[in-house]
Structure 1
Amino acid sequence: MQAAAQTSGTHPFRANDPRLAPIAEKVLAGQRLDFQDGLTLYGTSDVLAVGWLANSVRERLHGDITYFNVNRHINPTNVCVAACKLCAFGRKKGDPAGYTMALEEAWETAASGYSEAVTEFHIVGGLHPDLPLEYFTDLVRGLKQRFPKVHIKAFTMVEVAFLARRAKLTIEETLVKLRECGVDSMPGGGAEIFSARVRSIICDHKIDGSEWLETARLAHKMGFRSNATMLYGHIENNEDRVDHLLKLREVQDETGGFQTFIPLAFHPENTPLDHLPVTTGLTDIRQIAVSRLLLDNFAHIKAYWQMLTPKIAQIALRFGADDLDGTVIEEKIYHDAGATTPQGMTRKELCRLITEAGRVPVERDTLYHPVTRTEDSFVVAV
């Protein structure tokens, strides 16, 4: 029996859970949700009603547009001093499965997947105990020289903090060096879950949640734009999830530097937490929807098809997501953790996914400027 009904213009909102009625009032009036609202959204069984609300916000912001880009991932090393239980990618120094690209190899890797279509290189890797900051600045500088039109999105907040400590520099000094060598923006990885209780179990070798947030705050104030993530579906609870989202929202209120929020479903395979079950489709689409509703100051919510699968990512476009990420050539980190999705997708395939979901595909660059294609090159509309 429907226990709640609310209207927005000519479109009625109906829910089987009466707790959703006051939340719908807020959402439809453009008012901010609070911590308890977040818990209710995670706890209700009426996921379709939550999705309806998230979709209303998504369409208010973006209509039917769904963004994607043409990008290539470069993971220069998997050698890492951390031993995070959530990770299947990292290897200890000396491990036969460990690798570190020589600079020429990294540049050749970029070139092997490069065409005039690529607008972004996405660079993340392990926390290598021996590689100096200069390795990374030289890597970026070489990419900029070879591919001057390609935007370089590189180094998570965790990597920046680690590089700063190794180089005995402040975060600000390290960010200056990264900007000078050609880093254009930063990815959002390493945020995991900000809860100290959870981080002490799944990623105790990384910077803590407050350090991640402070590094992002400093990067934004220096002019970098970045993404933000949350890893869900492991040992966190609903309170941890809401806390994570609201802490991101607080920093965004202050800096406005986050471009996109990306919920990342945990893949337990090949990790020390492989006894945990994988997330269900219902959990995945709920996470997309709750993120869209709580993060009212984030322009974009991404359904990362590599982790969700293309099928769930399509559904997510009706549950609050307005971005599918990109072609993601040769992604390693999540595939080492058991992801069975393809390691890349063509522009044509992405457009088909979006169109079949009833949305309008729009190619973007990293900063969400529309990209117009000619036969052999692209033009970014700034």
Structure 2
Amino acid sequence: MTANRELDDILRRAADGGRISPEEALLLYTDAPFHALGEAADTVRRRRYPDNIVTYIIDRNINYTNVCVTACKFCAFFRAPKHEEGWSHPTEEILRRCGEAVDLGATQVMLQGGHHPDYGVEYYETLFSAVKAAYPDLVIHSIGPSEVLHMSKVSGVSIEESIRRIKAAGLDSIAGAGAEMLPERPRTAIAPLKESGARWLEVMEIAHNLGVESTATMMMGTGETNAERIEHITMIRDVQDRTGGFRSFIPWTYQPENNHLKGRTQATNLEYLRFVAVARLFFDNVAHLQSSWLTTGKDVGQLSLHMGVDDLGSIMLEENVISSAGARHRSKLTELVSMIRGADRTPAQRDTLYRHLKVHWTPADDPTDERVVSHFSSIALPGGGAGGRTALSVIDAQ
């Protein structure tokens, strides 16, 4: 309960599972008392997940190239074609990294890279089929709508054909990569060469209708307004009403180092936590809400578990893109599980579809493998070969 009857009515309706409008979501985001907002969002979580379980996944983000023609202003990872620091990995190196991930318990890989001018559908068919041949049980949750559009253009085929072909080659799920900000004004400001937000969602809708589900993301803190943040999730919810193909929503915060935006605007932790709670109340049609300890830090990640979050994301055995822009937060499996348990939740390892693989009902069930450490290989972090390993090599782009 708050001192404002209008806010009370909106919070109560949303907590009970009713739909709130974008205008009501914006009012909650800007005006609702923090604790009341969090309580309402956590009510939704408890109703959806009465077992009180919070999940995590073990995966590895493997970047096949940093060569990209899109040149997003917030990106510190990409290099232009023919740049002396541009590189691509051979298939053999990618398979080696997949093998390391499997040995450490990973169930999923995210194969992502830049928009290389030479990489069409055929490249991804070869890559995905090679991974599936070597590791048939490893889920390929990879690329994003931007890569689909790029490969379609390079190969001169339709979006539908591209998705059908890469699905047949082994793609299991599309990542929410490249969403950043979907509304036109902020998207044009930070990524003028990238497809529009409407086009990004169009690709997702096509994929969903072809049987390929996905996640949805949002990067906050690059100068967008509060209203534009709500517009972003409204655009996603509208597509979800038609397809039901988004498994989860994952907001994260812009990182300011080594990119053209240079941190002129950033989202505060309070803005982030309030938005997480509003997202849980707004997305009556998206099952899962994941927080981003990688960009906000582990303390904020744990606090988000009281704002409606039911998934703490992954122990990323490798991550280069966001850490290139300054995300220095690292973790290990035992620590992530401890964060969940410390928030009075029951930890569970999940797969890509959010099915529980291992539920740690008591502390005696908690994992003890100290080898499972995030970023044990990263070209973006000093000491990227932590854990007794050496940093993995790259080859020059051809």
Which residue is 1:235 aligned to? Answer: 223
Contact 2:16 2:44 in 1 (8 A): no
Q: CA deviation at 1:349?
A: 2.1
Contact 1:55 1:319 in 2 (8 A): yes
> 1:29 is matched with which residue: 16, 19, 24?
16
Q: Deviations over 1:282-323 (max 9, x none)?
A: 112112111111111000000122112111110000001100
Which residue is 1:106 aligned to? Answer: 94
What SS does structure 1 have at the residue aligned with 2:249? strand
Which residue is 1:52 aligned to? Answer: 39
Contact 2:255 2:263 in 1 (8 A): no
2: distance between equivalents of 1:196 and 1:166? 25
Corresponding letter in the other structure for 1:354:
I
Contact 2:65 2:113 in 1 (8 A): yes
1: distance between equivalents of 2:247 and 2:17? 20
Matches within 5 A, 1:221-260: 221-260=209-248
Q: CA deviation at 1:15?
A: 2.2
Asked whether 1:331 is paired with 2:313, we answer: no
> 1:159 is matched with which residue: 133, 147, 151?
147
Q: CA deviation at 1:142?
A: 1.1
2: distance between equivalents of 1:15 and 1:125? 47
1: distance between equivalents of 2:72 and 2:318? 22
1: distance between equivalents of 2:267 and 2:74? 14
Q: CA deviation at 1:110?
A: 2.0
Corresponding letter in the other structure for 2:336:
L
Asked whether 1:346 is paired with 2:332, we answer: yes
> 1:299 is matched with which residue: 241, 264, 287?
287
Q: Deviations over 1:206-245 (max 9, x none)?
A: 1101111110000000001100011111111111111111
2: distance between equivalents of 1:362 and 1:112? 22
Contact 2:214 2:247 in 1 (8 A): yes
Q: CA deviation at 1:45?
A: 5.8
What SS does structure 1 have at the residue aligned with 2:88? coil
Which residue is 2:78 aligned to? Answer: 90
2: distance between equivalents of 1:133 and 1:106? 18
Which residue is 1:380 aligned to? Answer: none
Corresponding letter in the other structure for 1:23:
I
Contact 2:56 2:349 in 1 (8 A): yes
What SS does structure 1 have at the residue aligned with 2:55? strand
Query: What is the CA RMSD across the aligned residues, in angstroms?
Result: 1.7
Report sequence identity in percent: 35
Corresponding letter in the other structure for 1:34:
S
Structure 2 length-normalised TM: 0.87
Contact 1:17 1:46 in 2 (8 A): no
Structure 1 length-normalised TM: 0.91
2: distance between equivalents of 1:48 and 1:129? 49
1: distance between equivalents of 2:82 and 2:238? 41
Contact 2:220 2:266 in 1 (8 A): no
Aligned length: 360
What SS does structure 2 have at the residue aligned with 1:260? strand
Corresponding letter in the other structure for 1:353:
M
2: distance between equivalents of 1:36 and 1:267? 28
Corresponding letter in the other structure for 2:339:
L
Which residue is 2:256 aligned to? Answer: 268
Contact 2:119 2:154 in 1 (8 A): no
Q: CA deviation at 1:117?
A: 1.4
2: distance between equivalents of 1:42 and 1:29? 18
